[in-house]
Structure 1
């Protein structure tokens, strides 16, 4: 899709938001609901056409909470309208940010433009494929020896190897600034990309609660790191000990004090 065409189509979806924010009690509710469902689906398809289907762009849009359950009383209808309006207001700046990204980084002379795979998207690909890679590497010819993923250090070794597919300058176990009287080391620092990667592996002792607590501490600590604009936390959970992984991801994935935090719990 051409640059100007992509921008124009995203702007059109933004313009439709104002028409969907308010619902008049009565027959208009049903019509408004149909328009909203169409707008949401059309926007998702558009984002997938503009960007890669598995990129963070469509995930960010789908993660916005919109209430579409039918109200059965005045109070429920007011709550429905509040949640719908709140969701649409969150969707607007995300679409505007996509427009800004296209304006700043797309080459308008290239009619076959494909967006650059950004650092976050590259690492997300590695997180998504890590479990498949970890299981495949166990199957060696003639039962030759291989790496067994027993603990967090094994995860670090494999993930480091995968990072070399995309990045040249990878610093491992980089010291962090002191926090609460102590200091630690980050798993990986991509200095040029100003990105820190923190890895964890669940176990009997590292439960969902403890994972959440550790990540909160990590987020607070890394905010003061001079080379951290983005913090990516990958939690490898092969036994699926975390019962609500998407909930934990959504709770912790946010931008705080200018630092982008993205949590990936895999396998899905």
Structure 2
């Protein structure tokens, strides 16, 4: 958001905060005492809107924002605390206008779906490049599923800050298992497979069906990517597996089989 536009939006919120303060009412807090309270729901809605716009625009890492965040439901929306939160917002606006506070750099490695799919699509090219080492030096040879996971992990951290390897899944069918990777910011799980001569298409499909049902109950999984590395072409034309699984789970799962035949 442009600076002028952001300041205008924050000033509107400050005015809304003033209105909440002005509408405060006296309520008893004991048999002998009373205090001024603002509307609890109005204040919490206002506070949420303020913190959201600050975070979206990189203005949430400063003392003004910290003080606003501290004024929570624990204060029961007492007027004195709500008024203090509004004053903190006004102080933040003034400091931002005069360039006394900086916008946090949001250009860290926070990749998206396009980055993830690009990694899958170029995985085979990376494997081939690793084979061509100077002076025949040692390299990572992809022999099994663990090798695929190691290389994929290295590629993921180039684009994503929060890559969680081997997270526990909730209990499913009587036991707990580990997932391969969780991208918590994207609420995305990545399940990795490597084909082998002893695995049939049917067995692979059955494994994936179990995985899909398992991840559907995970609170952090809104999207499941199944990356299947098939360097020896054991699956042949694998479009049937891909189409059936994606079609039957209404967008929850995406299948990437690489290299494509």
TM normalised by structure 1 equals 0.54
Stretches of structure 1 that go unaligned for 5 or more consecutive residues are 1-116
1 CA distance for matches of 2:175 and 2:237?
31
Equivalence for 1:173: 166
Match of 1:183 in 2: 176
Match of 2:123 in 1: 130
1:266 CA drift (Å): 0.7
Gap runs ≥5 in structure 2 = 1-109
- Conserved in 2, the CA contact under 8 Å of 1:254 and 1:262? no
1:164 and 2:147 are equivalent in the alignment: no
Aligned counterpart, 2:43? none
The aligned residue for residue 96 of structure 1 is none
What is aligned with 1:261?
Answer: 253
Secondary structure of the structure 1 residue equivalent to 2:166:
strand
Contact 1:229 1:259 in 2 (8 A): no
Matched, 1:212 2:202: no
Distance 2:237 2:209 in 1: 17
Contact 1:255 1:261 in 2 (8 A): no
Tell me the SS of whatever aligns to 2:167.
Answer: strand
| Corresponding residue SS for 2:209 | helix
The 8 Å contact of residues 195 and 229 in structure 2, kept in 1 or not, is answered as yes
Aligned to 2:53: none
1:132 counterpart SS class: helix
Where do 1:86-101 residues align within 5 Å?
none
Superposed CA deviations along residues 83-124 of structure 1, whole A, max 9, x for unmatched, are xxxxxxxxxxxxxxxxxxxxxxxxxxxxxxxxxx97332221
- Is the 1:197–1:233 contact (alpha carbons within 8 Å) kept by the matching residues of 2? yes
Q: Distance in 2 between matches of 1:220 and 1:178?
A: 11
The whole-number CA distance in structure 2 between the counterparts of 1:254 and 1:174 is 27
1:222 aligns to 2:211 (yes or no):
no
Q: 1:41-92: CA deviations, max 9, x gaps?
A: xxxxxxxxxxxxxxxxxxxxxxxxxxxxxxxxxxxxxxxxxxxxxxxxxxxx
Structure number with bigger Rg: 2
**Per-residue displacement from partner, 1:160-210 (whole Å, max 9, x unpaired)?**
011112101000000011111122111000011100000000002222211
Q: Distance in 1 between matches of 2:223 and 2:179?
A: 13
Superposed CA offset, 1:205-264 (max 9, x none): 2222111111100000000000000000000000010022112111111474x7621011
1:239 to 214, 232, 241: 232
Aligned residues: 151
Select the structure with the greater relative contact order (CA < 8 A; seq sep ≥ 6): 1
Measured in 2, the distance between the counterparts of 1:237 and 1:255 equals 23
